């Protein structure tokens, strides 16, 4: 029969399994704590943060990774934006991805990749045309992100051009896209 000590041991045992899930309101504190630890206090000064501030993530596109105990060990969210305008002058709807982070004690186990793949699949299933992000090309190019489609786009603040990447979910979605990235998602109440 399992003793109290067995339960305590099981609670602290290394957990190697994880699941990808939709974020819920009970995850917010854990997610923010994880982001502070992974990215530091300067994370709120990023240009991407200007786009996220005061907005809700795109419908169905706030995901978390949970360990075997259900604790949040990874997070990714995507945001509705207008990615400049097309050659006919119409705004181009797209998603801005970020932040992506995984708890440092769970790094290198494929959780970041699982979050990215789940996000890309969900965005595709929901009919979105493209995902943009600002991040290390060395990490994101494995998922198909590249800088060529963003060359005529700008973030609303300082950014490094070589880190400004995009993935088209529909071929040609960003053809001719030019201008500034502007938030267009649902506002926080």
Ligand X SMILES: CC(C)(COP(=O)(O)OP(=O)(O)OC[C@H]1O[C@@H](n2cnc3c(N)ncnc32)[C@H](O)[C@@H]1OP(=O)(O)O)[C@@H](O)C(=O)NCCC(=O)NCCS
Asked if 159 is part of the footprint of ligand X (rule: CB under 6 A), the reply reads no
Choose between 73 and 174: whose C-beta lies nearer to ligand X: 73
Residue nearest to ligand X (CB): 112
What residues numbered 34-63 form the site for ligand X, per CB under 6 A?
38-39
- Say if residues 43 and 99 touch (Cβ distance below 8 Å): yes
Q: Does 107 bind ligand X (CB under 6 A)?
A: yes
Report the nearest approach of ligand X to the CB of residue 136 (Å). Answer: 4
Q: How far apart are CA 57 and CA 36, in angstroms?
A: 19
The nearest distance, CB 22 to ligand X, in angstroms, is 19
Which of 7-14's residues contact partners 24+ apart within 8 Å by CB, and which partners? Answer: 11/69
Least spacing, CB of residue 174 vs ligand X, in Å: 20
Pairing type for strands 153-154 and 178-183 reads: parallel
Q: How far is the CB of 139 from ligand X (least distance, A)?
A: 4
* Residue 179 touches ligand X, criterion: CB under 6 A: no
Residue from the set 14, 108, 127, 158 that interacts with ligand X by CB under 6 A: 108
Q: Which is nearer to ligand X, 75 or 80 (CB)?
A: 75
Stretch that binds ligand X, among 17-25, 80-88, 124-132, 133-141 (CB under 6 A): 133-141
Q: Which of 6, 32, 136, 160 binds ligand X (CB under 6 A)?
A: 136
112 touches ligand X by CB under 6 A: yes
What torsion, rounded to 10 degrees, do the Cα atoms 113, 68, 74, 52 define?
Answer: 120
CA pair distance 126, 118, nearest whole angstrom: 12
Q: Quick one: which of 45, 54, 72, 75 has its CA closest to 63?
A: 75
Residues that bind ligand X (CB under 6 A): 38-39, 100-102, 107-113, 135-136, 138-139
């Amino acid at each position: 029969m399992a003793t109290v000590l067995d339960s305590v041991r099981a609670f602290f045992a290394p957990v190697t399994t994880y699941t990808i899930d939709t974020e819920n309101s009970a995850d917010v504190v854990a997610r923010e704590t994880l982001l502070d630890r992974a990215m530091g206090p300067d994370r709120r000064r990023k240009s991407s943060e200007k786009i996220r501030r005061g907005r809700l993530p795109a419908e169905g596109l706030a995901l978390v990774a949970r360990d075997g105990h259900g604790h949040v060990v990874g997070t990714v969210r995507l945001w509705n934006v207008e990615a400049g305008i097309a050659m006919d002058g119409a705004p181009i709807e797209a998603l801005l991805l970020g932040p992506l982070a995984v708890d440092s004690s769970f790094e290198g186990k494929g959780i970041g990749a699982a979050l990215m793949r789940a996000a890309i699949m969900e965005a595709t299933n929901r009919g979105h045309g493209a995902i943009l992000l600002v991040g290390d090309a060395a990490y994101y190019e494995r998922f198909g992100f590249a800088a060529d489609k963003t060359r005529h786009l700008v973030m609303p603040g300082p950014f490094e051009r070589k880190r400004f990447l995009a993935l088209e979910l529909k071929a040609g979605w960003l053809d001719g896209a030019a201008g500034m990235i502007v938030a267009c998602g649902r506002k926080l109440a």
